[in-house]
Amino acid sequence: MILPEHGRTLTDMEWQPVIDAMLDARHVVLTTHENSDGDGLGSEVALACILKKLGKEVSIFNPTEIPPNYLFLRESHEIRVFNDRDEESIQELFLADLLVLVDANLHDRMGCLWPHVQFARELGKLGIVCIDHHLDPEDFADVTVCETYASSTGELVYDLILSMEKTIRQPLFSPDVASALYVAVMTDTGSFRFPKTTPYVYRIAAHLVEEGADPNLVYDRVYNSLTVEALKLLGISLSSITILEDGLISWLFISKDMLRATGSKLFDTDLIIRYLLSVPSVRVAVLLVEMHDGRTKVSFRSRGRIYVNQLARKYGGGGHMNAAGALLQMSSERAKMVVKDDVRTFTREQLDLTIPQ
């Protein structure tokens, strides 16, 4: 498992185990986490284009459906939702030599894929590579590269491609690869404004534009492609926001009745949490979503050096310092009580730590 130090990128030698695994494989399956985002989707599509160019058989199987604003990525490579009841899909997974998980470092983030991946691995054929940038990686893969100081998984995949070009002595970038990676980097840096947006990230973006990515088109397709249902949900949600702890915490609960009434889906909630941090006094934002299967999804965002990933870890989740989440195995009513108490205590403790004594 490679966990580099702050302020450096991986060397070609450190990337070599990943490169060897990909070059040795005949059939590669790529996947990302449940409720996929731009970083996971862009990273897997970029790798799919590269591997296909190298003559590999490549499949992308994701555990949940693609948000509508990322459907355009399918123009570069087919992305399928894994059906764990479809024998053909299961058989295709079993025939693969290598599974590459991007933008997640916990095995259960693969959702319905994991039991089948585990079984295929027990048969002795399927290798697993994990490429990610989140905190606290789990040691379940054959090769894990987890660079927690990278802005995005897309940044890591970009570096991997550069190293792979040196190994095979062949150019690999194309407009499709550049566009997919631009989606990954742009979305996970909040359009190049989050703290990990280093000068190197801007150089990556410049190179991707040189290779054919269209920043205006990518931005428009990602951020100006909301459904009517998502806009209706946004309207209802904004009127339901609660401010707690003298303005330090913003809180929103979205019920399954709200989803049903607006015709919206779980991924439509992702755009809403950004509004919860728009009040200057708010340091921690919390979004709870009641899911149809009885679980509750919780998302955390924070401002400054408040490590919400620590709070998410308490519920079996994870993420970054300022953005994290978890799936709670409890009813929404129970989750509201538990999380509200926890986040109040957590916020006060974190603020005490950040104030110089």
Segment holding 221, helix H or strand E: helix 215-223
Are the C-beta atoms of 61 and 36 separated by less than 8 Å?
Answer: no
Residue 295 to residue 61: CA distance in whole angstroms: 23
Owner of token pair 């403790």: 349
Per-residue model confidence as pLDDT tens for the chain (357 residues)? 554 444 568 999 999 999 999 999 999 999 999 989 999 999 999 999 999 999 999 999 999 999 999 999 999 999 999 988 888 889 999 999 999 999 999 999 999 999 999 999 988 789 999 999 988 889 999 999 999 889 999 999 999 999 999 999 999 999 999 999 999 999 999 899 888 999 999 999 999 999 999 999 999 999 998 889 999 999 999 999 999 999 999 999 999 999 999 999 888 898 898 899 999 999 999 999 999 889 999 999 999 889 998 999 999 888 888 888 999 999 999 999 999 999 999 999 988 855 443
Are the C-beta atoms of 29 and 93 separated by less than 8 Å?
Answer: yes
pLDDT at 260: 95
pLDDT at 351: 87
Are the C-beta atoms of 140 and 107 separated by less than 8 Å?
Answer: yes
pLDDT at 267: 86
pTM for the predicted model, two decimal places = 0.89
Residue 224 to residue 234: CA distance in whole angstroms: 14
Residue-wise pLDDT for 125-184, tens only, equals 899 999 999 888 899 999 999 998 899 999 999 999 999 999 999 999 999 999 999 999
Domains and CATH numbers, the chain: 12-223 (3.90.1640.10), 228-354 (3.10.310.30)
